[in-house]
Amino acid sequence: MNWLSRLLGRKRPAQPLTADLLREIRLSFETSAADEEHFPSTIDPRIVHVKLILETMGDLNGRRVIDVGCGKGRFARILHERNPGARIVALDLAEAMLRAVPAGISPVAGSMTALPFPDGCFDGAYATESLEHAVDIELAVGEICRVVKPGGPVIIIDKNAAHWGRLQTPAWERWFGRKELERLLRRHCRKVRSQYISYWEDVEPDGLFLAWIARR
């Protein structure tokens, strides 16, 4: 990817989510589960990603929330620690990732493009750096919103298409334009906003990460 492509925010073309591709993605993450350095089971609770999810979700005690594409449940772990009365479901495609999900959180194996839950069964949903692996982004956004009750929060944190090429990515991965994801969320949600974020509050965002915050 040359400098002009990065400047123009050129994205990898979308490809169909076939059964073979889904198996390839699953196998990749099943294998990666052994790599604790690049796929950690914990995360620093002080980073902006975590704080923004906690702030958006509010008091979750007695409520049900889903972590879509949870990996090893590092974000769900903190939500559970801060809200011990919450019912947190951690969904991921790779069962090997789910083995690291801590006790007290319900692990579920499944695809974010076909969530195995009825409509409106969660009080909130979030997806952190996982939507980029969904391939069929439109379908995945629709599914995430579908399982959230009217009025419930939806937050997606992912990478900005304008910075495509900064990192090595697998062949299926896609990043998103700010307005692109706002448009998809508005099909299902009453309120949608977005903002640039960094990992740390004292570091100015450089444009790589965006947070999309919506209300069903």
pLDDT tens for 48-57 read: 999 999 999 9
Query: Could you report the per-residue pLDDT of 108-120, keeping only the tens digit for each?
Result: 999 999 999 999 9
Q: What mean pLDDT is reported for the chain? A: 93
Query: Could you report the per-residue pLDDT of 20-31, keeping only the tens digit for each?
Result: 999 999 999 999
Residue 24 CB coordination number (10 Å): 13
How buried is 200 (Cβ within 10 angstroms: 0-12 exposed, 13-18 middle, 19+ buried)?
A: exposed
Please give the pLDDT value at position 199: 95
Q: Which helix (H) or strand (E) holds 140?
A: helix 137-146
Whether pLDDT at 2 is above 80: no
The domain that holds 80 is classified in CATH as: 3.40.50.150
What whole-number distance in Å separates Cα of residue 56 and Cα of residue 89?
Answer: 17
> 139: domain range?
3-215
What whole-number distance in Å separates Cα of residue 96 and Cα of residue 109?
Answer: 10
Task: Please tell me the total count of domains within the chain.
Answer: 1
What whole-number distance in Å separates Cα of residue 170 and Cα of residue 27?
Answer: 13
Q: Which residues contact 2 (CB under 8 A, 6 or more apart)?
A: none
Whether pLDDT at 165 is above 70: yes
3-state secondary structure string across 18-29: CHHHHHHHHHHH
CA atoms within 13 A on the CB side of 188: 23
Please give the pLDDT value at position 15: 79
Position 65, amino acid: V
- The average pLDDT across 105-132 equals 98
Name the E strands within the chain.
64-68, 87-92, 106-109, 124-128, 153-159, 191-197, 209-215
pTM strictly above 0.85: yes
